Amino acid sequence: MTHEQAQNLLDTLFAPWVQALKLRVEQIAEDGVVLRLPFSDQLTHVAGVVCGQVYMAAADTAMVLAVSQSLGEFRPMTTVSLNTSFVRPVSQGDVLVHAQVLKRGKSMVFGDIKLQDEQGRLAAHATTTYALLPG
């Protein structure tokens, strides 16, 4: 999958509220992707830090693209589990979302996502399991 194809999936495949996160493809690798989550006050809660729900949505979205990259195309899939640990609050600056496929079987895919602030510090870490659906 090319950078443009991945960005097109990002811009057309997901619900409008996910598209409102304004995620952008930064990098494509054989087994994953890196997305940029632009900082916005609209993504913060009353303490002025990015909400955990934003991290979880960005992680899940990035992994769909990483799985698609691993498969060479988008196939219908569904999240079976998304386990997230919040490590450091982010109150300014973009977040880079690094999603990597760890293992891909016939019907299940396991992944790892690291969300890092602009200084490269870990802000959140997620692990995921996806079920590939019949197309």
pLDDT computed for residue 122 by the predictor: 98
Reported as a single tens digit per residue, the pLDDT across 102-130 is 999 999 999 999 999 999 999 999 999 99
Handedness of CA 111, 90, 25, 29 (dihedral sign): negative
Q: Domain-by-domain residue ranges, the chain?
A: 3-132
Mean of pLDDT values over 43-63: 96
Phi, psi dihedrals of residue 7, rounded to the nearest 5°: -65, -40
Decide yes or no: CATH 3.10.129.10 for domain 3-132.
yes
Stated pTM of the model? 0.95
- For the cut 80, the answer to whether the pLDDT of residue 135 exceeds it is no
pLDDT computed for residue 81 by the predictor: 98
d(CA 123, CA 82): 16
Q: Which residues pair with 86 in a beta bridge?
A: 124
- For the cut 80, the answer to whether the pLDDT of residue 92 exceeds it is yes
Work out the percent of the chain whose per-residue pLDDT is above 90. Answer: 95
What are the tokens at 122? 């870990």
What is the pLDDT of the chain when averaged over all its residues? 96
Which are the contacts of 21, defined by CB distance < 8 A and separation ≥ 6? 37, 43, 54, 57, 58, 61
Q: Which long-range contacts (CB under 8 A, 24 or more apart) does 31-34 make?
A: 31/66, 31/69, 31/70, 31/100, 31/101, 32/66, 32/69, 32/70, 32/98, 32/99, 32/100, 32/101, 32/111, 33/6, 33/62, 33/65, 33/66, 33/69, 33/99, 34/62, 34/96, 34/97, 34/98, 34/99
